[in-house]
Amino acid sequence: MTRARMPRPHEVAAAQRDPRLLRAVSERQQDDAWRTRGACQSVDPETFFPAPNEPADSAVALCRTCDVQGSCLAWALEVGDCHGVWGGTTPRERRAMLVAWRGQVERDPDAADEPGPPVRDRLLTLVPSRR
């Protein structure tokens, strides 16, 4: 088993702009029954947990067609799950997203419920730009 490395700053910056993360933040805590409507319900769960040397392309492709992709990703980020494919993301992608997610949630736990600047603007403020 290999040890996962911490995401690099440029990976976190890219994750902050990722539309999948933005959707997850906006759909956070909106739908408690998302699991029952997932496209994954009709597929073998092993599809979403490929071996480290196997591609996750089929799982990610299925997730792209799913209506509850944002809620699924929000759940995985909320619990810190870095194994398997959740919300159309691989573990490596989610590790970078998790840094942005935790910064957002710790700073403003009710961000999805409050009016204010768009979620994207709040996420982009988490990592200082390089100049």
pLDDT along the chain (131 residues), means of 10: 73 90 86 89 94 92 94 92 92 91 66 45 46 42
The confidence score (pLDDT) of residue 126 equals 44
DSSP of 3-71: PPPPPPHHHHHHHHT-HHHHHHHHHTTT-TTGGGG-GGGGS-GGGGS--TTS--HHHHHHHHT-TTHHH
Structural domain span for residue 120: 42-131
Region for 3 from its dihedrals, namely left if φ exceeds 0, alpha if ψ lies in -120 to 50, beta otherwise: beta
| Rounded alpha-carbon distances, angstroms, from residue 36 to 2, 57, 58, 124 | 33, 23, 20, 32
In a domain, 74, yes or no: yes
Number of domains in the chain: 1
HSE, side-chain direction, 13 A CA sphere, residue 61: 6
3 belongs to a structural domain: no
Binding-site entries: 40, 63, 66, 72
> What is the Cα–Cα distance from 36 to 57, expressed in whole angstroms?
23
Which parts are annotated binding residues for [4Fe-4S] cluster?
A: 40, 63, 66, 72
What pLDDT is stored for residue 107 in this prediction? Answer: 61
Whether 96 and 7 have beta carbons less than 8 Å apart is answered as yes
Provide the pLDDT for residue 112. 45
pTM (2 decimals)?
Answer: 0.75
